[in-house]
Amino acid sequence: MTEPTPSVDEKDDDPIQRLAAFVRAAGIDAEIVFPDGPSATVAEAAATLAVPPSQIVKSLLFETRRGEHLLVVASGERRIDRRRLAENAGLAHLKLASAATVLHCTGFPVGGMPPVGHQQQFPVIVDAAVLEESIVFGGGGRIDAVLRILPADIVKLNQATVSNVTESGS
C-alpha cells in the first residue's frame, strides 16, 4: 500500500518555505541547512559541510522528446550512464531538462532543486549508491541551501525506483 505524498503549496513563492512545509508534513528527519561556505561544486559542498563527497547528492530532471519527465537522484561525484538510465526507465531519447522546465515542473531552480517536494509528480529513480550512505545532502530549495535527508526517505516520498544508473567505477 502506498502512502499519500505530502503536497507542496504552489501558492507560496518562497522555495525554502515550501520545502520546509513539505518536510514538516511528511514527518521525516530532515533539515534545511544554510552552509557558511561555498557549495557550488560537490567538493566545495563536502568540504563546507565536513562530509565525504559521496554524501552530496544531485537531483537531475530529464525529459523525452514527447515531454515526459524523469527525476534522477545520484551521488554528486558520479556520472549518470544515460544508456543505463534509458533502459531502466523504459524511456528513449532522454536529455537534461532546461532550467525553465526544471523550475516549472519542480518549483525549484537548477542548483537548488531538492530530491523531494516537487510541484509535479513524475517517475523518480534513485541510484543504488545513494542508499549506501546513512544520510545525504541535496538541494535545499535555493542555491544557498542544502537539505539533510535520509536516503530511504527520498525513496519513500518519491515512490522511487532504486537502480544502478551511474557509470561503473565513477
- In tens, the pLDDT along 7-65 reads 444 445 899 999 999 999 999 999 999 999 888 888 999 999 999 999 999 999 999 99
Looking at the domain assignment, is residue 10 inside a domain?
no
> Kind and range of the H or E element at 47?
helix 42-49
Decide: pTM greater than 0.85. Answer: yes
**Portion of the chain with pLDDT greater than 70, in percent:** 92
pLDDT at 153: 98
User: Does the pLDDT at position 127 exceed 50?
Assistant: yes
Q: How many domains does the chain have?
A: 1
CATH number of the domain residue 147 falls in: 3.90.960.10
Q: How far apart are CA 157 and CA 21, in angstroms?
A: 14
Give burial (CB, 10 Å; 0-12/13-18/19+) of 169. exposed
Q: Is residue 109 part of a domain?
A: yes
Q: Strand 69-75 to strand 124-127: parallel, antiparallel, or no bridges (unpaired)?
A: parallel
Helix/strand number for the chain, H first, E second: 5, 8
Residue 123 lies in a domain: yes
Residue 139 resides in a domain:
yes
| Cα–Cα distance list, 50 to 37, 47, 107 (Å) | 11, 5, 29
Residue 3 lies in a domain: no
Q: Which domain holds residue 113?
A: 15-163
Q: Has residue 111 been placed in a domain?
A: yes
